[in-house]
């Protein structure tokens, strides 16, 4: 979903095509660098402020470049970019970015490189490109070389980019050089373009196992399944439904001073099946059972669903709960529920019967009660 980063190497390959002389280096794959050149080598995983973190080496030999990547690999990085050094003066550095906005593509440009553009809006030219004419006129206004902007915007559109930042950009009579580039693409465009693939999307953050499992599961269903681990030793674990409703419920924890006690955030929506809900719930329960918090509560909550069937999704939740019922009881965990939607009465009745039988019941609320009711009770329980 949404905007995702692709590697700098891939972005430049799209923009420069055949003429691009950068090399991608990946963990475990040998890549020969020419010994006669000096190189710039960088970690290429969408990380900001690489220079400050020591993730860039400039003007190194091929051998030194390889040594540098080996060092970074030890820190857990897996993907790098190497380019021949491009000699230039600091005052040649310019800034350019493109971003998709409601009425076209927004261009930000300044000849003064190195300025923090957010702090110096007066130095930055802002133009919205929506028609071929507006691109040509932008070329005149910025003084960028003839044809450069046309070709850049064409590639931006064709490859479903949503954000592209070139900083620094060096413009000379015989052409332009893109020294550093950051690029976001629209993941929904993957079907329509051959310019990049899932493989080029960078994964900057090492993920928790549970997050990986949910991501894999989400890739196989039209329903929406999301999970982020916030605090592995948290006290409140969430099984929430609905993109908006889940935030409202999490907000209630923050309002009652329990924001930091959340073990996870996530949501399932869009009508997952019983089986999908079962697999998703299993992941949340595994995370919860591993938490070292003394008193823990599970919050199963959501708004009044539009079309997600409460009876069948709750059947999936119950399948997973009953597998771990013994362990949940031993840890003194209670379950707090608030939900509404199609087949609400039947779903909630099953849940109540099950939780009572297993001695796991905290409280149960339906669509006539506030969406935040279960979270409120759960916080009282753990405090």
Partner 1 sequence: MSLIEQIRKNNNGIVVAGNHPAILQSILDFDFLSGETEPSVKVCLIANRSTLKLFFGTKEVLIPCVKDMAAALIVAPEAQWLLNLQSGRRVFETTNLFFQLFPKALGAHVFAENVPEKHATDLIALWGDKKIIAGPSGVGILVSGVLKLGASGGVGLAQIAQGKLTQKGSLAVVSTSGGVTNELIVATAHSGKGTSFSLSIGGDRFPITSLSRVLELAQEDSQTKAVVYFGELGGVDEYEIADLVRTKKLTKPVLAYVAGTIDEAFEERMQFGHAKALVARNDESARAKRDALHAVGVIAPETFPEFLEAMKSLPGEVLEDVSASITPLMNRAKSILSTREIVDLESTPEYVSGKKLAKSQSYAFARATLSALLGRDVSDVTAAFTESILTQLIDHGGHVSGAVNTMVTARAGKDLVSSLVAGLLTVGPRFGGAINESARTWLRGVAAGKDAKTFVEEETRAGRLILGIGHRKYRVGVPDPRVEELSRFASLLKKHPHYDFARAVEKIMTGKQGTLILNVDGAIASLTLDILTECEGLTHRELTSLIDAEFFNALFVIPRSIGFIAHFMEQKQNDEGLFRLPDELLFVHSDKKQKKRK
**Residues in touch with partner 1 (CB under 8 A):** 1-3, 100-104, 130, 157, 160, 162, 186-189, 191-192, 222, 224, 226, 228, 230, 241-248, 250-255, 259-260, 262, 265, 267, 269-270, 302-307, 340-345, 367-368, 370-372
CB 12 within 8 A of CB 22: yes
Within 10 angstroms of residue 55's Cβ, the number of other Cβ atoms is 19
For the chain, the maximum distance between any two Cα atoms, rounded to a whole number of angstroms, is 79
CB of 189 to partner 1, least distance (A): 4
Q: Is the dihedral of CA 341, 346, 349, 353 positive or negative?
A: negative
Residue whose CB is less far from partner 1, 242 or 362? 242
Shortest distance (Å) from residue 44 CB to partner 1: 21
Report the distance separating Cα 217 and Cα 223, nearest Å. 10
Q: How far is the CB of 40 from partner 1 (least distance, A)?
A: 28
Length of the chain: 383
Q: Residue 340, Cβ neighbours under 10 Å: how many?
A: 20
Which residues have CB under 8 Å from 273's CB, separation 6+?
221, 223, 312, 316
CB of 277 to partner 1, least distance (A): 16
Closest CB 311 distance from partner 1, rounded Å: 11
In angstroms, rounded to a whole number, what is the distance separating the alpha carbons of residues 39 and 83?
Answer: 6
Rounded to a whole number of angstroms, the minimum distance from the CB of residue 266 to partner 1 is 8
Radius of gyration of the chain (CA): 26
Shortest Å, Cβ 255 to partner 1: 5
CB-wise, 159 or 281, nearer to partner 1? 159
3 state DSSP class of 192: coil
Rank residues 167 and 372 by Cβ distance to partner 1 and give the closer one: 372
CB closer to partner 1, 244 vs 332: 244
Comparison of 22 and 272: residue with beta carbon closer to partner 1: 272
The smaller minimum CB distance to partner 1, of residues 248 and 289, is found at 248
At residue 295, what are phi and psi to the nearest 5 degrees? -120, 125
Task: CB nearer to partner 1: give 113 or 347.
Answer: 347
CA dihedral for 184, 188, 194, 197, sign (positive or negative)? positive
């Amino acid at each position: 979903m949404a905007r995702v980063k692709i590697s700098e190497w891939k972005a430049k390959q799209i923009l420069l095509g055949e003429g691009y002389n950068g090399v991608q280096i990946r963990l475990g794959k040998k890549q020969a660098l020419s010994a006669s050149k000096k190189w710039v080598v960088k970690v290429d995983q969408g990380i900001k402020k690489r220079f400050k973190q020591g993730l860039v080496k400039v003007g190194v030999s091929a051998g030194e470049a390889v040594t540098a990547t080996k060092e970074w690999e030890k820190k857990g990085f897996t993907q790098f970019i190497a380019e021949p050094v491009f000699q230039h003066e600091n005052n040649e550095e310019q800034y350019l970015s493109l971003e998709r906005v409601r009425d076209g593509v927004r261009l930000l440009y300044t000849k003064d490189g190195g300025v923090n553009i957010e702090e110096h809006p007066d130095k930055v030219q802002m133009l919205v490109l929506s028609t071929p004419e507006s691109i040509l006129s932008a070329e005149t206004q910025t003084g960028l070389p003839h044809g450069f902007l046309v070709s850049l915007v064409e590639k931006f559109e064709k490859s479903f980019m949503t954000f592209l930042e070139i900083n620094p950009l060096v413009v000379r009579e015989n052409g332009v050089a893109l020294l550093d580039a950051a690029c976001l693409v629209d993941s929904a465009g993957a079907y329509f373009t051959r310019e990049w693939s899932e493989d080029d999307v960078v994964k900057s953050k090492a993920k928790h196992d549970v997050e990986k499992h949910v991501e894999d599961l989400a890739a196989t269903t039209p329903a929406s399944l999301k999970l982020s681990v916030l605090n592995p030793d948290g006290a409140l674990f969430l099984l929430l439904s609905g993109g908006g409703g889940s935030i409202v419920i999490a907000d209630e924890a923050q309002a009652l001073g329990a924001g930091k006690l959340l073990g996870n955030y996530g949501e399932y929506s869009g009508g997952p099946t019983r089986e999908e809900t079962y697999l998703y719930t299993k992941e949340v329960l595994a995370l919860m059972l591993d938490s070292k918090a003394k008193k823990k509560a599970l919050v199963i909550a959501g708004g009044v669903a539009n079309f997600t069937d409460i009876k069948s999704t709750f059947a999936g939740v119950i399948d997973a709960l009953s597998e771990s019922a013994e362990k949940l009881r031993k840890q003194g965990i209670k379950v707090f529920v608030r939900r509404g939607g199609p087949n609400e009465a039947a779903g909630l009745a099953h849940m109540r019967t099950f939780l009572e039988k297993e001695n796991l019941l905290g409280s149960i609320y339906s669509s006539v009660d506030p969406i935040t009711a279960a979270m409120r009770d759960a916080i009282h329980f753990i405090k």
